[in-house]
Amino acid sequence: MRDKNYIVGLDLGSVSVNAMVINDEGKIIYEEKYTRHNGQPLKKAKEIVRKIAKDFPFEELGVTGSNGEHLSKEWDIPYLEEVIAQAKGIYHLYPEVRTVIDIGGCDAKFIALDEKGDVSNFSMNEGCASGTGSFLDQQAKRLELNIEGEFA
């Protein structure tokens, strides 16, 4: 019998896969940040989960993100819509925060939270890539900047 129960959360976005492991006290004990999937989100997610399972045998696994539903169906695991997942995560870590701005690979979102951490307002840009992570990524490459570290 293990001393700890771990839960793994995956975010399969349009450009990258992010993962975190929390313990049974709700504390983040491991993060896999901004790993590009190069158009193969399911393959990259499998690699990350295998890597995590070696050090953190987990009890539960859930997924969110623009590519998350595909993995949810393939692995028969829970999917949480990404705006709700962001709201819950931010409220857990920073209960005083009321505004979330998410600049993703293909869209940008504005999320307003109420005092209980529930989404009270939400808006998203239209189809234009301007102001999204893809646009910022293109400009960083043009300027020869590495954005995968502190800006990811």
Mean pLDDT score of the chain: 87
Q: What is the pTM of this model?
A: 0.79
H/E stretch holding 24 reads none
CATH 3.10.580.10 fits 96-152, yes or no: no
Place 112 in a pLDDT band, splitting at 50, 70 and 90. Answer: very high
Break the chain into its structural domains and give their ranges.
1-80, 96-152
Highest mean pLDDT among 92-96, 100-104, 128-132: 92-96
Closest CA to 102 of 91, 94, 110: 110
* Confidence band for 131, pLDDT divided at 50, 70 and 90: low
* 59 token code pair: 């009890």
CATH code for the part of the protein at 1-80: 3.30.420.40
Q: Are strands 6-12 and 58-64 parallel, antiparallel or unpaired?
A: parallel
pLDDT the model gives residue 109:
86
34 touches 18 (CB < 8 A): yes
Q: How far is residue 58's CA from residue 43's CA, in Å, rounded to a whole number? A: 19
